[in-house]
Chains A and B, each alone.
Chain A
């Protein structure tokens, strides 16, 4: 599923995303606020849901080749994070929704058929 489709369906607000970034393919999601956990367990191509806002999230996203980062609970990424994300081409999104809401909706997008039975 394209990042653009997901951000529209979940009403995620892009912070820095260009059309090119939004055309990227997303393979799933991962939710965690522990950076070592994301380093160890997130799979490449997944959308990372977190409440962390500092610049190290960009390095994690680059090293793990994540599809992007969704910052939840109405938090905003730090200026440094936004700047780094622009340099590295990592799409950042913000949303007033909680991690539970974002993860639930994302899961529905990927698994709608199974859930409806």
Chain B
């Protein structure tokens, strides 16, 4: 049954998209994104942002309807798209009526207006924008009407093309040594890809998707089904082997700069894995997690520094277990007073703990020992068989080993008795207690092990940078780590990796927009909580929890 198109909803969605785009323009984001080419001469990141608004509005208008007929989609999409343009047109016309608007809205520059009016004059541009956005709205709405056979290839074509364009820096780095100079020129610009490469990717992605749906997938699955147990094991071993080898050669392919980015992501993965034990496995909301990172870093600093503050001149490897041990000790020490606390109270106390550590690090009180705001300098580098690790690629392997160890430990613990105790604790503390689960040791082990991973990350961080300052250990780190767990999927190990790539890796690649980082961050978190609250790669339990309602309906259906 086709329901009547809800006009009020359509108007609301369209206007909302328009107002959001207006806001994004007014803070200057649109214009600064416009400086980044995606497809040279055709599309900038700013334009992509601008055009995705009416498209998304159209898409949302018809989403959730059981069956949309073409007429309704066209009307709804056009209305939503056109309404998206309205607030923007109002802005354009406002600049005509009040040319000195820039005094109060500093970001409303001629460039922004020219971007909004698609390069034409204000009046003509407004009309163009209206029509263009209406058309995009229709395109968005039609997505539900199109048969799968067209929609899927189209999504994958556009997705791969845009994804490749946004990450062109990575591909450029990887492909530079393989492709010749002339070929590079034909495919890549300094920022972005050429229309030629865009077209190639688009066509290839569409072709592959069609091939896959037209029998490729069937053949693949048939082959897989025909494999014997032994062959299946073998093929799993092979894919694990390929995975390990790729991880090992990754920094060689990526080059120095990107390896540094990956190192950063790796440290966050390490912290994420630790906090995931505390928050994801045991359900204890810890907002002061940066404290253990700081403790690991400072202990490593003091013990290995060759500067004035160094007290032992130890080697990295000797100091490492001490740094991790100190973090564990701090984790357990924090754990004891908060044993009886739950939820909000726990969050507030841990938040305070994180701040206390940072304030102590900055304070004059401890300045003679840990340097106050001047921090600790000349921290020792790790050496292996007399070989000093200095470059990002060296630290890559160190961090990789740390992450590998953390993944191993976390996954083993999750499936062991302790993991089940954590799960019981997370699900219901009272029931867990009645079942005879020792709450004290279960909680303290979560805090302690979680702190260990963070301390390890801190120790490596400190050796990697050679100097540390208290301002590196602010609340934002705790928030970042918590967010990446949530975005990835709380309690899920692959989720931590995905979350770190999205929240730490992606912003590094889009570094020129650092100004808007927190804004985008917030927007992403809000969007995630609405569209995919279980995270990008959720654990089975979280996934089911968020879809329990649907399941019930399904159950009700068969009864």
| Pairing of A with B | no
Residues of B in contact with A (beta carbons under 8 Å apart): none
